[in-house]
Amino acid sequence: MHLRCRLAILLLLMVLLPGCSSLVQAPTVVLKEARLAGLDTSGLDLEFHLGVSNPNTFDLSLLAYTFALQVTTLPLSSGGRQEKVLFPAGKETDMRLPVRLQFADLLEILRRTPDPDNIPYQLNSILTIDTPLGEMTVPLEKQAILAVPEPYRKATIIRRLRDALPGHL
């Protein structure tokens, strides 16, 4: 009789547990902004600002993320990070995804891009989220155009260099 009770409980769990995963709704992830965050002698820093909306009645948290960035179909940067971010129940949380590009990659982008002031890119990211029922992965795929701010545009940089040369009129 004790064995029958255990088998009944096991059977009940096998029937009920697959339905439990539907109790956790995946958060919605959107790309809110992509911007140039900095420029130095070795490269360029980009920041992708994500909005993560948690539709559940309980908090979720980010465990880690990975990303891959392509510009004009050229794979430029990929990586990931283990990072703890809390996504409160029923709210949207802002999250920053930093990406570093080397100057050699930037030269290749300028060579391939017909309009260096508006650069097409594709960002693919996977967020690993901790839920009460275990881990879940949430993908983000976004194609967009990065409008290069005026101070970083090729024409502005060339004009500054020309103005800095001695004897410029």
- Which residues, listed in sequence order, are joined to residue 35 by a DSSP beta bridge? 47
Q: What is the pTM of this model?
A: 0.74
Give 56-87 pLDDT, tens digit per residue.
999 999 999 999 999 877 888 899 999 999 99
Mean predicted confidence (pLDDT) in 149-153: 69
DSSP three-state, residue 21: helix
Distances (CA, A) of 136 to 16, 21, 68, 106, 128: 19, 10, 19, 35, 6
- Domain 25-164, CATH class in plain words: mainly beta
Q: Tokens 């001695």, residue? A: 166
